[in-house]
Amino acid sequence: MMQQINMEDPGGRVIAVRGAVVDVAFDGATLPLIDESLAIMTDQGPPIIAEVQAHLDESTVRALALQSTSGLRRGTPVRASGGPIQVPVGESLLGRLIDVTGTPGDRGGPFQSDVPRRPIHRQPPPLSSQGAAAEIFSTGIKVIDLLSPLAQGGKAAMFGGAGVGKTVLVMELIHAMAERYQGISVFAGVGERSREGHEMLMDMRSSGVLARTVLVYGQMNEPPGARWRVPLTALTVAEYFRDERHQNVLLLMDNVFRFVQAGAEVSGLLGRLPSRVGYQPTLASEVAALQERIVSVGNVSVTAIEAVYVPADDFTDPAVTTIAAHVDSMVVLSRSMAAEGMYPAIDPIASSSILLDPLVVGDEHATIAIQVRQTIEHYRELQDVISLLGIEELGADDRRIVGRARRLQRFLTQPFSVTEAITGVPGRSVGVADTLAGCQAILNGECDAWQESSLYMIGTLDEARAREDASHQTSPPIVNSTPGGTPR
C-alpha cells in the first residue's frame, strides 16, 4: 500500500458508486482536502486508492478511484491519508516498472519499507530558480538535429496522427541516447497498449538501458484516473533525481494526448459541462500543471520528449494546440511523407524549434536550415503544376530546385536501429556536422547528377557517394537496337 493511513481516524463510508466515481460521507469528521488520497478498505485484496475531487456538502466528498471499483458496495469503510498520493522514489526504482500508485508491475519484489516517498502533487520551482535551455541535445537523427534541434533541459513534442511513427521515433531516441546520454531516464507510458509496454520493457532489457531507467505505466485497460495521474507519478520520480540527487533526467512520455483524453473522461464522470470540441473545461490548467513542472533547476536539467497523438490529423484540435504552447521544439510527422516511404516521416516545413537561431546553433547551421526549408517549400508550391503538366513544363531553374529538393528529402531519411529486425537494414546515427555537410553539398549542386535512390535511407553523404559509384560500376552498357534486333 502506497499511503500511510491513519487507522485511528474515524474515517468515512461509501454512499454511492458510479463507475470510477465514489461518493464518501465523513460523518462528524473533518473533510479531506481536494487531491487528498483515500483508502477504500475492501474485504478482499489491498485497499482501493482514490483521490478527492470535490466537496459535495459539509460531510460528503466525491472521489475518483485509481483502481477498479468492481464489487465495491455502499457502507465500505474509507480512511483518509491526510495528504496526496505518495509514491516511492530513488535509486531502488532504477530498472523497475511501476504503476500510478508506485506498485511494482514487473514481477519483481516489493520495495523496502525505508524507500523514500514523495507526493505526486507539488508546485513547480519558482521562476527565479529555473535555468534556461540553450544547450543542444544531439540525437543523431538528421532531420531533427538540422531543422528542429532539441534543447538540453527543454521540452520537445512529436505530433502525429495514428500510424505515422511516433512511438518508433521515441524508441529510436531512447536507443540513440543510451550511449551518449549519461543521466537517468524516466519513461511514462500514458494510456499505452500492453503490447507496447511489453515491447518497451524487452527492448530496454536487451539493449542494457534498463539499469538507468524507471518505467511508469498507466495502460489503456486501467481506469481513467490511473491514466490521468500517471504522468504526475513519473514526474515526481524525475524531480527527486533532479532536486535531491542532482542528476540530469531524460523524461519520455508516450502519449500525452491520452493524458488529456483521460482528463476528459474524468471531467465527464464528475458531471462537468464539456467545453470546446467536448474537452474538459479545465484543459488548459491541467496541461499547464503538468508541463510547468518539467523545468531545469540550476545546472541540473529535466529534458522532456513527448509523443502527442493528433486526432484525425487535425492540428487545430484544442488538445494539440494547448500542448504545443508549452514546448520548445515541435517535431511534426506527416502522413503524406509516410505514404511516400520517407521515414522518419517528419515534415521539414511544419517542424520548428526555438533553438534554430544563429546565436544558439551558429550562422552556418541556421543558414543551411533556412535554405533547405526554402528549397523544399518551393518544390511543394510547384507540385500542382508538376501533377497537371509534368516536370518538363518547368523552367530550367525550377527543374534544378525540384531535383535538389527531392534529393534533400531522401537524404533526410535514415534507417533506425529499432526497426533493424523488421527491415534488415542497420540503423544509422549521424553527427550534426555530417548532416550539415551533406545538405550543403546537395544545395550547391554537387549531387545533381546522382540517382535519387543513392540518397535514400543512408547515413552520411559518403555512404551515398559509395552507393552511387557502385551503381555506375555494376550497371550494364546501354545498347540501342532496331525492332529487328540489329544494333545501331
- Cβ–Cβ < 8 Å for 77, 29: no
Residue with cell 516489493: 110
How far is 5 from 87, CA to CA, in rounded Å? 14
How far is 154 from 140, CA to CA, in rounded Å? 17
Q: Give the DSSP letter string of 339-379.
A: HTT-SS-B-TTT-EETT-SHHHH-HHHHHHHHHHHHHHHHH
- Cβ–Cβ < 8 Å for 234, 228: no
Q: How many beta carbons lie within 10 A of that of residue 473, not counting itself? A: 6
How far is 155 from 324, CA to CA, in rounded Å? 10
Q: Give the DSSP letter string of 129-182.
A: GBPP--SEE--S-HHHHHHSPEETT-EEEEEE-TTSSHHHHHHHHHHHHHHH--
Question: HSE (CB half, 13 Å, CA atoms) of 417?
Answer: 19
How far is 385 from 300, CA to CA, in rounded Å? 52
Residue from 255, 261, 265, 214 nearest 235 by CA: 214
Residue with cell 509496454: 197
Residue at 83: amino acid letter:
G
**Sign for the pseudo-dihedral over CA of 223, 113, 82, 27:** positive
Provide φ and ψ at 333, rounded to 5°.
Answer: -95, 140
Residues recognised as catalytic: 166, 192-193
3-state secondary structure of 36: coil
How far is 20 from 65, CA to CA, in rounded Å? 5
Q: Which residues of 232-268 are buried (b: 16+ CB within 10 A; e: fewer)?
A: bbbbbbbbbbbeeeebbbbbbbbbbbbbbbbbbbbbe
Name the region of 382 (left: φ>0; alpha: ψ -120 to 50; beta: rest). alpha
Task: Please give the distance of CA 174 from its chain centroid, rounded to a whole number.
Answer: 11
Residue at 265: amino acid letter:
E
